[in-house]
Amino acid sequence: MTALNLHHLAWSPLGHGHCHHQFQLRDASLRVGAGEFVGLIGPNGSGKTSLLRCAYRFSKPAAGEVLLDHQNVWKQSSRWCAQRIAVVLQEFPDAFGLRVDEVVAMGRTPHKGLFDGDTRHDRQLIEQALESVGLLGFEDHAFATLSGGEKQRVILARALAQQPQLLILDEPTNHLDPRYQLELLGLVKRLNIGTLASIHDLNLAAAFCDRLYVINHGQIVASGTPHEVLTAELLREVFGVEALIDTHPLSGYPRITWITQP
Amino acid sequence: MIDRRYALLLSALGGLLLISCVISLGFGSARVPVDVVWRILLHKALGIGEANWSAGQEHIVWLIRVPRMLLGALVGAGLALIGAVLQAVTRNPLADPHLLGVTSGATLGAVIVVLHVGEVIGLLTLPTAAFIGALLSMLVVLAVASRNGRLESDRLLLCGVAVSFVMMAVANLLLFMGDHRAASAVMFWMLGGLGLARWELLAIPTVTVLLGLVLLLGMARPLNALMSGEQTAVTLGLNARNVRLKVFLIASLMTGVLVSISGSIGFVGLMVPHIARRLVGAEHRRVLPVCVLLGSLFLVWVDVAARTLIAPEDLPIGVATAAIGGLFFIGLMRKR
């Protein structure tokens, strides 16, 4: 079964030679099993995005390796990778008036040669992807005119049209209303594809993730189930805030209540 | 995603272009009736019909206006195509074929030849010198813009603009200090004109534009992906830098060829892609053929205006494209 393994990754941003500790990675290891929803949490600048970029073969780690199905992704082409990993980023194709179905059709790119047209199979996949994010009937809407939540769902539909074995999401719930945050993560969870997502909102991470990794200063400092990871001590150490942790009265996952200083 | 509406639009534009090409041949300082134009065309191309027109009419239509019309259509198609793909890879809706620095390199080449070398290899001297200038300036832009083997679109555009300014400064300095009669000859070329068109000059631009169209249509999916951003392109399995470099090379070479024959004809490459996207959306497999047809159509008619407005003088077509295109664009923006 497909699994993603990151082994002892090190990476630092190019062109920032002088002691620039932000965004660095140091000896970071992480594993996503088949069908597992893994969350990555950590403060701003801790290296969440850097780690994800290494995982989807955008940034090449200075040391360590990224294994997908026991294959080193840097020994494979980016096309090979794109046929297996789909990524949802905050990069929206707003300019130039692309239509929703055109954006979703981009997901077929890694499966297509130079002059290949869209087959009936491709069109079915595009339709299914739109259906599963609840946007069937939006095909000929201009992408730029959609709301933030709809845009994020279109990008997810594009990822689904890619028929990935692994999904990577970078802050997928940013700027979304609570309803869309819950809908989007619930949708991803129901897909039962191995998923690695960086999530800002710790309560959302606790509610949806099977396992969590905590990253701080480029190092993985804790990992395990939400119950194991989300403790008052860890939140104090890593995020520098006081919190009350109890159990969600309805669902049983840990619930974080921030303690604000008056 | 070829649907019926799109097929209809494409054939309508194609038909309109064919009709325009024939009708446009009648216009100029000497009017030739359309039926005579039609009979001359049939006679020369297919050998049908009796020659009952004057030798002068035949000369004007077949040896001057037909190659000129064809060159206009080719240049319009090529510039629109280049503008569309450059706007996509740089994600900049203001990108234009002449921003790459190629045009100013061609201008400098042309200025040097006209002022200091003379027509050493006849009719081909000016286009050849212009093309060499275009190539050199493309290499300079590439060398300056690439850093650590990377080629970023922002740097590319900025370097193109910077190199353009330096080249134009040198060219203008040479013109300023040089012979004024030569200067006006160069001026005409700099403002753009199809006056150089001869049958024997058409082969190279024809091959260039057709080859460019095929190559860029083949890259339509990568172009779509790049339009939505560098990271997205990578996650879709593309080597973004590679695609961008290829597009830049194709665009520069095409611009070099077209500009060296027709001078710098502005606004077509900037404006036509936007109109095409309004008609059929931004997807490249759909928009590129429409750009080709619209670009041709536009330039064929602007050239008619250029050679009739102040007849018997030729108005520089670059002036006409800029004026007509700009006004048309303003109208379009206000209507929205």
Average pLDDT over residues A178-182: 89
Instruction: Find the residue in A nearest to B235 (Cα).
Output: A82
- B217: which chain A residues are within 8 Å (Cβ-Cβ)? 115
Instruction: Report the 3 state secondary structure along A97-112.
Output: HCEHHHHHHHHHHHHC
What residues in chain B have their Cβ under 8 A from chain A's Cβ atoms? 1-2, 87-88, 91, 93, 148, 217-219, 221-222, 224-225, 227-229, 231-232, 234-239, 277-278, 281-283, 285
Q: How far apart are CA A207 and CA A254, in angstroms?
A: 8
pLDDT of residue A176: 84
Judge whether residue B154 has pLDDT over 90: no
Instruction: Report the 3 state secondary structure along A162-193.
Output: CCCCEEEEECCCCCCCHHHHHHHHHHHHHHCC
pLDDT tens figures, B26-54: 888 888 888 888 888 888 888 877 778 88
Judge whether residue B128 has pLDDT over 90: no
pLDDT of residue B336: 58
- Burial of A152 (C-beta count, 10 Å sphere; 0-12/13-18/19+): buried
Strand A37-41 relative to strand A85-88: parallel, antiparallel, unpaired?
Answer: unpaired
Judge whether residue B214 has pLDDT over 90: yes
Please name the member of B2, B227, B231 whose beta carbon is closest to the beta carbon of A58.
Answer: B231
pLDDT of residue B261: 87
Q: Nearest CA to A67 among A14, A31, A116, A37?
A: A31
Q: What is the mean pLDDT of chain A?
A: 89
pLDDT of residue A234: 94
Contact (Cβ atoms closer than 8 angstroms) between residue B96 and residue B86: yes
Query: Which residues neighbour B274 within 8 Å (Cβ) at sequence distance 6 or greater?
Result: B93, B329
Percent of chain A predicted with pLDDT > 70: 96
Q: How far apart are CA A18 and CA B240, in angstroms?
A: 28
- CATH for B73-335 is 1.10.3470.10
Judge whether residue B1 has pLDDT over 50: no
Please report the sign of the dihedral spanned by the C-alpha atoms of residue B319, residue B325, residue B326, residue B328.
positive
Please name the member of B219, B225, B237 whose beta carbon is closest to the beta carbon of A83.
Answer: B237
The residue behind tokens 């649907």 is B3
Q: Where are the alpha helices (DSSP H) in chain A?
A: 48-55, 78-82, 100-105, 120-132, 148-161, 178-191, 202-208, 226-229, 232-234
Among A42-51, A80-89, B106-115, B216-225, where is mean pLDDT lowest? B106-115
Q: How far apart are CA A97 and CA A94, in angstroms?
A: 7
> Which DSSP string corresponds to B257-272?
HHHHHH----SHHHHH
| A144 touches B at CB < 8 Å | no
Please name the member of B221, B232, B278 whose beta carbon is closest to the beta carbon of A89.
Answer: B232
Judge whether residue B2 has pLDDT over 70: no
Q: How far apart are the first and last CA of chain B?
A: 27
Judge whether residue A94 has pLDDT over 80: no
Q: How far apart are CA B125 and CA B199, in angstroms?
A: 16
Strand partners, A258: A243
Query: Which residues neighbour B70 within 8 Å (Cβ) at sequence distance 6 or greater?
Result: B197, B202, B206
Contact (Cβ atoms closer than 8 angstroms) between residue B212 and residue B188: no
Judge whether residue B145 has pLDDT over 50: yes
Strand partners, A250: none
Domain A1-84+165-230 belongs in CATH node 3.50.50.60: no
Q: What angle do CA A16, A75, A2 make, to 5 degrees?
A: 105
Judge whether residue A21 has pLDDT over 70: no
Conformational region of residue A177, where left means phi above 0, alpha means psi within -120 to 50, and beta covers everything else:
beta
> One-letter amino acid identity for B13?
L
pTM of the model: 0.86
Q: How confident is the model at residue B83 (pLDDT cuts 50, 70, 90)?
A: very high
pLDDT tens figures, A130-164: 998 889 999 889 898 998 888 999 999 999 999 99
Instruction: Find the residue in B nearest to A142 (Cα).
Output: B281
> What is the CA A129 to chain-centroid distance, rounded?
18
DSSP B203: H
Which sequence spans correspond to the domains of chain B? 73-335
- Reported ipTM: 0.85
Judge whether residue B301 has pLDDT over 70: yes
Query: Which residues neighbour B8 within 8 Å (Cβ) at sequence distance 6 or greater?
Result: none
Which sequence spans correspond to the domains of chain A? 1-84+165-230, 95-163
